[in-house]
Structures are given as structure tokens and as C-alpha cells.
């Protein structure tokens, strides 16, 4: 999608929240408050990481795992009492930094910083050149396929979009699950929800593979390209998955949380998502029933979306040394390995610490596929706040596909909305 980032530029003015936070009173603490956006399985793994940190440093951690992360964080920001450490999607960093909710990070002062790649550090660098996070976990979206269905219908592993469509069509019209009924399964499970703009993340991979893009640029300045000739052609192809005959996608807009069981329960045979789903899919449909493959290539290649989790330092903390100590532990080989292997669900999908071999630690060659896909993946713009643009993209595409509307005019309107979102923060090239 031709995103590149970094190099100094001015940050957008801080908002009212920043002013409120600056006026917060220091309150004595005896433990570090840490939040993550996690369900129960991931929370169990995080707790194991924090227990090891406490055993090593004596610093107590009060941990909150919540799936309503944004809502609860806004409430705490309003009360001028942010968590000391936040572990969350990299995509939220620029917004938090612009609002003064998180502190800049002194990369040079962080023990272990040199064990992280420049690419990881670039992902947490704002357009003004400052780092506002510490990389913690990385992966790319990968393609899950029901191996048993594919083999039952006599198909090879798809390597091109043409082969992907042929396989999805067979899943949607044939009897891959062998229940004697043709056409009661779907080709693809698609998390088409607009919540947090999730649909835009799923779409971005196929846009890249078809040679299209949402925006292009670097150094805090971007050009809107969602309505370029290449992007229109890409979107017409994606729309055919939803609006063609047969439709290859399930009806309705699944969330990421509901798309995972939809695939696991045997309703669809192809699902592009993150490798965090491996633990669930090993339980159902079962590790022997599915496979993880490199994304089948379109005319633009086989790239998918890079996803990262980062560590952020809350701006109202009175425990700066403990904040730094926890960040250093989380990127250490010990902290990273516990995050991959503790009972629950890996919260370090692939390590950001370059001294570690992720697939070897897992003892699972499927993670080699994830590593290979990560090497051919791209991050959405991270040096600007892309949240508003991402929401516009998700809502615009959902409406377009729900109505099977003509692509060109809809993309022209969407381009104007994205331009407005970028212009609001002086990020329009």
C-alpha cells in the first residue's frame, strides 16, 4: 500500500485532554497500574508476565484486562488519572500522543532497545521524530484455509487470486463438509464490522494485493489514493466477493470476535486474520483440519497488513522508574518468551527482540509462515492519527458493499472524507 513513515514534522496541537492532564495532582502509589485490551485467555498470559516481573524487581503490578479499553481509558483521562502503562494496538499511538495521554520514550535510555529492529522502532515514531511507544509484539495477517475441505474437493493450496476465488467458489457451492448438502457453507469469513474501523484493516491486505491503496506518502504527509484508477479496479474486485454470483462471503457484518467462531464452527472455509486465532482454531476445528498459508498473490503482490502491539507510558504516572523497568522487562528475552509461552494465549505473537527465534520457541513451523508473511507486509500510517480516516474507510466500504453500489462515485465521496480527516491534522500532502 506504499506506506512509509517517520522523519520530523510538527505534531498536531494538544487537545483539551492534554491540558486537563497537565493539571493533574500527583498521588502516591505503591504499585504500577497496567492495562491491556485483552480477553480472559490473553489476560492469563499477561498476568504470568507481570508475576515474573514482580518476582524479578519487587515492583507490584495492578493489572486490568478489558475489551472496552477505549471507553474506560477515556473515562480515566477525564478524571486525570491514567494507567501507568498501557499495552495496546500500535494504531492508537498517534491519537494518544496528540492528546497528551502518553509520554515520549527515550529510546537511548532504555535497556535492551538495541535488540529491537529499526523497523520496530519506526512503527512508534511520530511525524516529529519522537518515539511515543515501545514495540512489544508483531505479526502480519495470514490466510487460514480449511485443509480438510480443500482436499475433499481436490484443490491445491491457492497461490494466486484466481485460485483463491476458485476455491472459495467451490466452498460456497459444493459440499466441502460432506454433510450431503451443497451450498450450505461460505467461501470466506469476513470481519466486516465498522467497530474501531476493523473492516479497513481486513480490506487493506486485498487492496495492496490488487495494486490499490487508501493513501500514499511519508513524513507525516499523505495523498489520498482510494479513488485512483488502480484503487477503483482493486475495489471492484473486492466488491465482487460480496456482490457476485454466488456471493463468497457470509451475509451480515461479523465482528472479529464473531468471525473467529464462524470459521471454527465450519460455516466458512477461508479466513484472513491474525495468528492470535491459532490457539482457538487448534481447539476447533482442530489443528489437523486447517492450514496457514501465505496470502495468494494478486496483480499487486501478496502483501498483507502488519499489526503491532506497543507499550505506552501514561502521562499522569508518579512512577517513571517503574514504568521504564516494566518496559525493559517486556522487551527482554525473558519477558518476550513468557508472553509467547505462558498458559493462555500468546500476547507476543512474534518477538520484537531480534535475539529470539519465534517459531523455534513455539516449536511450531506454522509460525515460519507468519514470519514469512510479516516480511511481506505493511503497516497503516503510524506517524499520524489515522483513526478518523480508518473509520471513514470502514463505514464507506461497508455501505458500498451492502448496497452493491457503483464503486467510482462512492470512492470519490470517500476520498473527500479521508482528505478532510487528514487536513484536520495538517497531514494532507
Give the domain CATH number at 49: 3.40.190.10
* Whether residue 103 sits in one domain with residue 49: yes
Question: What pLDDT score was predicted for residue 13?
Answer: 39
Question: What pLDDT score was predicted for residue 4?
Answer: 38
Q: Does 4 map to a domain?
A: no
Q: Does 25 map to a domain?
A: no
* Whether residue 76 sits in one domain with residue 37: yes
Domain count, the chain: 2
Q: Does 310 map to a domain?
A: yes
Q: Of 345, 363, 378, which residue is a domain's last? A: 378
* Whether residue 122 sits in one domain with residue 54: yes
* Whether residue 337 sits in one domain with residue 405: no
Q: Does 40 map to a domain?
A: yes
Contact 398, 249 (CB under 8 A): no
* Whether residue 340 sits in one domain with residue 229: no
Q: Mean pLDDT, 10 residues at a time, over the chain (429 residues)?
A: 38 44 56 96 97 98 93 92 96 94 98 98 96 98 98 98 98 98 96 91 98 96 98 98 94 77 95 94 97 98 98 97 98 98 95 98 98 97 95 95 94 98 96
Question: What pLDDT score was predicted for residue 27?
Answer: 52
Structural domain for 181, as ranges = 142-305+382-424
Q: Does 398 map to a domain?
A: yes
* Whether residue 265 sits in one domain with residue 180: yes
Contact 382, 206 (CB under 8 A): no
* Whether residue 195 sits in one domain with residue 130: no
Q: Does 326 map to a domain?
A: yes
Q: Does 19 map to a domain?
A: no
Q: Does 36 map to a domain?
A: yes
* Whether residue 50 sits in one domain with residue 199: no
* Whether residue 161 sits in one domain with residue 126: no
* Whether residue 343 sits in one domain with residue 238: no
Rounded to the nearest angstrom, the gap between the alpha carbon of residue 83 and the centroid of all alpha carbons in its chain is 22
Query: How far apart, in whole angstroms, are the C-alpha atoms of residue 250 and residue 363?
Result: 34
Q: Of 360, 378, 396, which residue is a domain's last? A: 378
Question: What Å distances lie between residue 366 and 90, 237, 300, 362, 422, CA to CA?
Answer: 24, 29, 25, 9, 38
* Whether residue 261 sits in one domain with residue 278: yes
* Whether residue 389 sits in one domain with residue 281: yes
Kindly give, in sequence order, each residue whose CB lies less than 8 Å from that of residue 6, ignoring residues fewer than 6 positions away.
Answer: 122, 125, 127, 129, 218, 219, 383
Amino acid at each position: 500500500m506504499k506506506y512509509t513513515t517517520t522523519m520530523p514534522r510538527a505534531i498536531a496541537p494538544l487537545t483539551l485532554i492534554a491540558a486537563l492532564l497537565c493539571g493533574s495532582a500527583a498521588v502516591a502509589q505503591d504499585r504500577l497500574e497496567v492495562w491491556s485490551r485483552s480477553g480472559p485467555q490473553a489476560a492469563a498470559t499477561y498476568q504470568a508476565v507481570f508475576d515474573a516481573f514482580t518476582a524479578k524487581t519487587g515492583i507490584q503490578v495492578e493489572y486490568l484486562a478489558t475489551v472496552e479499553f477505549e471507553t474506560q481509558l477515556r473515562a480515566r483521562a477525564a478524571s486525570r488519572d491514567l494507567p501507568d502503562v498501557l499495552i495496546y494496538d500500535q494504531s492508537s499511538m498517534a491519537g494518544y500522543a496528540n492528546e497528551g495521554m502518553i509520554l515520549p520514550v527515550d529510546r537511548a535510555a532504555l535497556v535492551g532497545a538495541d535488540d529491537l529492529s529499526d523497523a520496530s522502532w519506526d512503527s512508534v515514531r511520530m511525524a516529529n521524530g519522537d518515539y511515543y511507544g515501545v514495540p512489544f509484539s508483531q505479526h502480519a495477517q495470514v490466510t487460514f484455509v480449511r485443509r480438510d475441505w480443500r482436499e475433499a474437493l481436490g484443490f491445491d493450496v491457492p497461490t494466486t487470486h484466481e485460485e483463491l476465488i476458485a476455491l472459495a467458489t467451490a466452498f460456497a457451492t459444493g459440499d466441502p463438509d460432506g454433510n450431503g448438502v451443497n451450498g450450505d457453507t461460505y467461501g470466506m469469513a469476513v470481519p466486516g464490522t465498522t467497530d474501531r474501523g476493523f473492516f479497513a484493516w481486513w480490506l487493506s491486505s486485498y487492496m495492496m494485493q490488487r495494486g490499490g491503496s487508501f493513501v500514499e506518502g511519508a513524513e507525516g504527509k499523505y495523498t489520498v489514493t482510494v479513488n485512483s484508477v488502480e484503487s477503483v479496479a482493486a475495489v471492484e474486485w473486492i466488491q465482487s466477493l460480496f456482490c457476485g454470483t454466488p456471493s463468497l462471503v457470509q451475509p451480515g457484518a461479523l465482528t472479529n470476535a464473531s468471525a473467529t467462531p464462524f470459521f471454527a464452527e465450519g460455516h466458512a472455509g477461508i479466513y484472513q486474520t491474525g495468528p492470535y486465532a491459532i490457539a482457538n482454531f487448534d481447539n476447533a476445528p482442530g489443528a489437523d483440519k486447517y492450514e496457514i498459508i501465505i496470502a495468494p498473490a494478486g496483480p499487486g503482490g501478496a502483501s498483507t497488513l502488519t499489526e503491532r502491539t506497543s507499550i505506552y507510558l501514561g502521562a499522569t504516572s508518579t512512577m517513571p522508574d517503574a514504568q521504564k523497568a516494566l518496559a525493559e522487562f517486556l522487551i527482554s528475552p525473558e519477558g518476550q518468551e513468557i508472553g509467547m509461552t505462558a498458559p493462555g494465549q500468546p500476547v507476543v505473537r512474534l518477538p520484537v527482540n531480534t535475539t529470539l527465534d519465534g517459531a523455534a520457541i513455539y516449536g511450531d513451523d506454522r509460525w515460519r509462515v507468519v514470519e514469512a508473511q510479516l516480511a511481506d507486509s505493511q503497516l497503516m500510517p503510524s506517524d499520524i492519527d489515522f483513526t478518523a480516516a480508518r473509520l471513514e474507510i470502514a463505514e464507506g466500504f461497508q455501505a458500498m458493499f451492502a448496497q452493491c453500489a457503483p464503486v467510482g462515485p462512492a470512492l470519490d465521496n470517500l476520498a473527500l472524507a479521508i482528505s478532510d480527516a487528514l487536513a484536520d491534522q495538517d497531514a494532507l500532502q
